[in-house]
Structure 1
Amino acid sequence: MPTVLKLLLVPLLAVLSLPAMAEKADREKPVHLEADNVTLDDIRKVSVFEGNVLLVQGTLMLRADRVEAKQNGEGLQSVTARGKPVSFRQKRDGVDEYIEGFSSQMEYDNVQSILRLIGDARLRKGGDEIRGNQITYDARTEFYKVVGQEGAVGPSSRVRVIIRPKPKTSQEQNTKQ
């Protein structure tokens, strides 16, 4: 496969590795990528997509102003997306709901399988929502860490979590009567 084509595919493969809870069937779907400009540096192994970047693969949709992907000799190393905001949305595997993320910057470390949402970070799953300055998600351990705005004062500096009650099943409602 030509090196230029490999550099184009790097950010696409990174997105396939987003959180483990994502729809597994998406990995088998074609990837559609649009951007105003693409720059490829074959020597440094860096691909940069700029201007209204849109990536769609199955149920996954990623929007950003700029996406930069880096690789090493073993393949994909990391992807950084920036925007106002960067957003992604993807159907969760096995359930009829989506996970959505928003932030000023998203970083994905393919080596460690860690996703970071940085700057006004929000993550929604079902009816639940987490907000903070930074959200870190380890896809291997399914562990989240949320950090507020360091040094800031007031309610906007704190981590916020909204947990909605799960709808009662018809069996639970009948038992209550």
Structure 2
Amino acid sequence: MTLLALVAAVAVAPAWAKSSDRSQPMDLTSNSNDCSVGDDGGPCVFTGNVRIVQGTLDVRAAKADVRRGGGDIQKVILTGSPVRLKQDLDGGGSIDATANNVDYNLQTETVVFTGNVEIDQPGRGTMGGGRIVYNMATGRVQGGGEEGGQVRTRILPRGAKADQDGN
């Protein structure tokens, strides 16, 4: 698995990120990087204007900390102001998400979005709050507000268009 699963996490209604993206090469660009190439479990940290592209997945962040083990990516921690994720979906349409931090743990198959989370699936709905957790194995999405705040969810009826003002 790759960072592609990050975007699958934000589905407000049942939809999956573009599955063919998993077989595409992952291209990373940044102002600098510091990678431990000799140690399979060592970190690879990309900083400054980080961009990750894999197929239709497009991730932008201030920093990406990629942890490897056994020849595969084990965990990716993204930070930014904010982290931005965009990806096409297998069923058509796309998904856009922003958060201050995104922690993707491939071992537990869990993606945690924290800090000013906003997830938009045009034509389907939106979700926002302080913390949104997605379990890729079970498909369960859990949300929580920041500092006593609430989670906001809007599910659109089929064929409806979202009002830009959120009304």
TM-score range, shorter chain: 0.7 to 0.9
In structure 2, the partner of 1:101 is: 97
Runs of 5+ consecutive residues of structure 2 not aligned to the other structure: 10-15, 161-167
Alignment of 1:9-158 (within 5 A): 14-18=2-6, 19=8, 21-41=16-36, 42-43=38-39, 45-73=42-70, 75-93=72-90, 95-127=91-123, 128-150=125-147, 152=148, 157-158=149-150
Partners of 1:97 and 1:135 lie apart in 2 by 21
Whichever structure has more helix as a proportion of its residues is: 1
1:139-165 per-position Cα deviation (integer Å, ceiling 9, x unaligned)? 111110000113x4xxxx211111112
Task: Check conservation: 1:103, 1:118, Cα contact below 8 A.
Answer: yes
Whole-angstrom distance in 1 between the partners of 2:81 and 2:152: 21
Deviations 1:5-41 (A, max 9, x none): xxxxxxxx63134327111111222322210001013
Tell me what 1:160 maps to: 152
Q: Percent identity?
A: 28
Provide the aligned length of Structure 1 versus Structure 2. Answer: 150
Distance 1:75 1:159 in 2: 34
Cα RMSD between the aligned structures?
1.8
8 Å Cα contact 1:14/1:79 also seen in 2: no
Deviation, structure 1 residue 60: 0.5
- The alignment's TM-score, normalised by the length of structure 1, stands at 0.77
TM-score (ref. length: structure 2) = 0.82
Aligned to 1:9: none
Q: What is the distance in 2 between the residues matched to 1:137 and 1:85?
A: 19
Alpha-carbon distance between aligned partners in 2 of 1:78 and 1:96, rounded to the nearest angstrom: 28
What amino acid is aligned across from residue 119 of structure 2 in structure 1? L
Greater relative contact order (Cα < 8 A, sep 6+): 2
Displacement over 6 Å in runs of 4+: none
Question: Structure 1: where are the runs of 5+ without partners?
Answer: 1-12, 169-177
